[in-house]
Amino acid sequence: MRRTTAFLILLVLLGAAACRAAAPVDDGGLPRPTPEQAAWQDRELGLFYHFDISVFTDGGEGDWKRQGRLDPSLYNPTKLNTDQWLEAAQAMGAGYTVFVAKHCTGFISWQSDAYPYGVRQSQWRHGKGDVVADYVASCRKYGIQPGIYCSMPANAYCEVFDNCTVKGISGPRDPRQIEYRRRAELLVTELWGNYGPLAYIWFDGGTLPPDKGGPDLVPILKRLQPHAVTFQGPPDNPAGNTRWPGNERGMTGYPSWSTVAGANDPGVGNPRGKVWQPGECDAPLRNHAWFWHRNQESKIRSVDQLVEMYYGSVGRGCNLILNGNIDRDGLVPQPDMKRLKEFGDEIRRRFGRSIAETSGHGYSLELALAKPSVIDNAIIMEQITEGQRVRQYVLEGLHGGQWTELARGQSIGHKRIERFNSIEVTKVRLRVTEAVAEPLIRKLALFHVEAATRRKAATTKPSG
């Protein structure tokens, strides 16, 4: 009896040792987001506002190089209303916005002392207007986080057409390059220092290092906006950076990871990366037109196209930022407003209310339904504040007393949306088959999108 008991104890101990050897160990070394990055990922949807003096000409997207210094008197958006911009963001469901405060023309949309080319020199509001101040105030009013875009690599007014370098200079010590560096540093000092906390700062292509003649932006950023997440910003930004997936189609590849091997790596990320840098997919609402131009309403993407972007960005762990093309009146045009609202309504219709949801930890998580239900979509989220842990998983549904595979994948991260054929189930099970540490599932939620789509069609069906 004692020998049998001892043998059983030995088996238990050996089994426990084997389990410990097989299970991944969380040694605390997993990359994790900063609190600011995690909050940014939770916002999921953003809206850009591209608005520049070039809108008041009939040139193309890249004509700022050819046009050079446009007459500031052209700029006169007589109906400009930044509250209306934020109404568009609210209707879309955006959690943050980004205003293009200075684009490649060099035209300044706030009251600036950097150089005499901006709203101060325009006829709009008799030279007293400040679009940045209006925009930030509207963000605070609507409870949507503000972001600022101020490009460094190009500035036609300063004859900078590429890579922060003044045309025709002899080198970084050339007086014209030194002057441009001073002006660029003053621009961001005003933007980052005069309008309160910013949630997001877009660098768009980065900037030339100071030792090569570029502006020394990192000390200014750390001093004035230490809690702002940056797009393609400095590697040592205390709040962390986001990355570009490498296209302007509003989608990323799969599997998609929130970690990268090096700062500002484009693409889908790297599961072995040591830097937390989530992706942001960007796309203009009007098919490849970032700025407003006449007679381009036909370029506005359909709701179906925008929903596919959502699945290919937010549904793959990235954020999605669309563009609001501000017109010459200073407004989001009504056709664009309508489409942004339709898109937001469709996302809310699909995912606003789940059939059932749960959370938990471990390699298997079951969700029992109150009654047999038809499902065709599932949202899975990891608790990314503890790192992205899952590397392989299978989603199964209990149908007719048997487990049936619904979907399988690799990365989950902040959010993974799985689509599959409609099926009636009584339970759903998430099985993690590979992970680098114990899986922490923030949410497993089930939906019947097809039914939601039918309800939409029924409510919009014409009478008679």
Q: Is the dihedral of CA 441, 447, 453, 459 positive or negative?
A: negative
Within a domain: 378: yes
Same domain, 395 and 311: no
CATH number of domain containing 414: 2.60.120.260
363 and 271 inside one domain: no
Measured distance CA(87)–CA(94) in Å, rounded: 10
> Same domain for 427 and 305?
no
Q: Is residue 196 part of a domain?
A: yes
Regarding pTM above 0.85, the answer is yes
Contact 135, 88 (CB under 8 A): no
3-state secondary structure (DSSP) of residue 23:
coil
76-110 b/e with 16+ CB inside 10 Å = b? bbeebebebbbbbbbbbbbbbbbbbbbbbbbbbbb
Question: Under 8 Å CB-to-CB from 347, ≥6 apart: which residues?
Answer: 93, 307, 310
One domain for residues 83 and 181: yes
Q: Please check whether residues 346 and 429 belong to one and the same domain.
A: no
What integer pLDDT is reported at residue 233 of this predicted model?
86
Query: Which CATH number characterizes residue 338's domain?
Result: 3.20.20.80
User: 398 near 356, Cβ under 8 Å?
Assistant: no
* Residue-level pLDDT at 58: 84
Domains: count for the chain: 2
Residue 9 included in any domain: no
331 shares its domain with 411: no
Which of 351, 377, 412 represents a domain boundary (last residue)? 351
Residue-level length of the chain: 464
Q: What is the pLDDT of residue 450?
A: 85
| pLDDT, averaged in runs of 10, over the chain (464 residues) | 31 32 51 98 98 88 67 96 98 98 96 97 98 98 98 92 92 96 97 98 89 94 97 90 94 96 80 95 96 95 98 98 96 98 98 98 98 98 98 98 98 98 98 98 96 57 39
324 within a domain of the structure (yes/no): yes
Distance (Å) of CA 420 to CA 301, 434, 450, 455: 25, 22, 11, 19
Give the model's pLDDT for residue 262: 75
Q: Is residue 14 in some structural domain?
A: no
282 and 399 both lie in a single domain: no
Quick one: 39 and 91 in the same domain?
Answer: yes
Question: Could you tell me if 411 and 273 lie in one domain?
Answer: no
Taking a C-beta distance cutoff of 8 angstroms, is the pair 442, 346 a contact?
Answer: no
User: How far, in Å, CA of 46 to CA of 346, rounded?
Assistant: 16
In a domain, 12, yes or no: no
Residue where a domain stops, chosen among 287, 321, 351: 351
What is the extent of the structural domain holding 104?
35-351
**Alpha-carbon distance values, 96 to 39, 85, 140, 195, 226 (Å):** 11, 12, 11, 16, 18
pLDDT value of residue 59 = 72
The residue among 343, 323, 346, 315 whose CA lies nearest residue 252 is: 315
Residues 313 and 417 in one domain: no
Domain boundary among the residues 330, 351, 372 is at 351
Looking at the structure, do residues 301 and 374 belong to the same domain, yes or no?
no
Residue 101 counted as domain residue: yes
The answer as to whether 43 is a domain residue is yes
Same domain for 230 and 95: yes
